[in-house]
Structure 1
Amino acid sequence: MRLFVYGTLKSRYKNNALLVKLKVRYCGKSTTRGRFCLGFHLYPYLTERCPPYLKGRVVIECYSIRRDKIAAIDRYEDMRIYRQETVKDSSNKKGVVYMMRKRNPTKPIKFKKPIRGKLCF
């Protein structure tokens, strides 16, 4: 299966070590086909619940991962906060991305603004 990552699991961040440990295969960079918002509060997250002017295509890295190894990603992502969602990338390939379950309204949320329609953490 394909795993799309957009935050601290990307290759230039230290948490990418988890993907290296799991021996997943890097497939390349892409963007989401759909438009989402990239938020940040202690950690980056993807959401559809945001003002339309903040939505953009999110820059992602694609990894090929065996289904039996996805549980390790679930533990890392904390499934109380995130949920798996199947989305398509710009080449119309499906992959799993972790999206925010719900926003906590008592905490300040910062959204990145799209640059030329793209969002990148």
Structure 2
Amino acid sequence: MRGLTALSLAGLLLAGCSTQAQDQIARSAARSTVNRVLLERLPAGIPLQPSIDCVINNASAPQIYALASDTLGGPTQSSVEIVTQVVSKPETTTCLATQGLPALLR
């Protein structure tokens, strides 16, 4: 129910925006959810920003919107599943290896 309410609210807020603005708002909201999911799952001290960027940049539009809808109420099991699916993509794995690993070595 909470997710449906958040999704409805997000839909109303996005209705008056351009497509580009909608995408930016959704990506920003999804980024917040991904941050919380990764914060719970990655060891302390690992830089999150490169990993968040890799997940957001390799998520599909429906995945971005689903993650964005969980921003208000916090990550759900669905959020964790979506992040896991995106991280499992070869493109994301490559991104994590080239962007995330160097951040660890700094």
Normalised TM-score (structure 1): 0.24
Which protein is richer in helix relative to its size?
A: 2
Which protein is richer in strand relative to its size?
A: 1
Normalised TM-score (structure 2): 0.26
